[in-house]
Amino acid sequence: MSLQLKINTDLKEAMKAKQEPLLSTLRLLKADIQYELTKNGAQELSDEQVIVLIKRSYVKRTDAIQMYEKANRNDLADKEKGEAEVLKSYLPPDVPEDQIVAAVEKFVIELGASGPKDIGKVMGKVMAEFKGANIDGSKVSAIVKSKLS
């Protein structure tokens, strides 16, 4: 079953069970998917495209959590945390840090990278290597910078 169909099925089940935090999050996610479908004129999105949408929504939630916590709005932060957890459940597991380090070292050698000017080249290769996987770009950036500094 594709990820898009799983989300639709889970949305229907959440409607029947009246699971409110799950329901509102899945509705927003379905709206994002529908927008992407109409934008591209497609019938269905690939799992990779859906994962990109989920990641985008997840990042929005984590940013909102930080802002709400700075403003001492714990009620809103808790709501965003609940939505972030729902979104995270649809993402593949995080890529382990040791795999990222190994890929960075491989591409540093392969590209002959020697300094900060080569960070972009190495980052591009590493991110392409893990395309479709759940990888944190800021974590990759930190590892690349530490290797090339």
| Confidence (pLDDT) at 7 | 93
Distance (Å, rounded) from C-alpha 132 to C-alpha 122?
A: 18
Terminal CA-to-CA distance of the chain, rounded, Å?
Answer: 45
Q: Rounded to two decimals, what is the model's pTM?
A: 0.76
Distance (Å, rounded) from C-alpha 100 to C-alpha 87?
A: 23
Distance (Å, rounded) from C-alpha 106 to C-alpha 99?
A: 10
| Confidence (pLDDT) at 140 | 87
Distance (Å, rounded) from C-alpha 100 to C-alpha 91?
A: 18
pLDDT of 40 over the 90 cut = no
Q: Which long-range contacts (CB under 8 A, 24 or more apart) does 104-112 make?
A: 104/140, 104/143, 104/144, 104/147, 105/147, 108/147, 108/148
Average pLDDT in the 16-45 region? 90
Q: Which pLDDT tens digit goes with each residue over 94-108?
A: 888 888 888 888 888
Domains identified in the chain and CATH numbers: 3-90 (1.10.1510.10), 97-148 (1.10.10.410)
What type of residue is 80? E
| Confidence (pLDDT) at 149 | 80
Distance (Å, rounded) from C-alpha 109 to C-alpha 78?
A: 44
Provide CB contacts within 8 A for 4, sequence distance 6+: 33, 44, 45, 47, 50
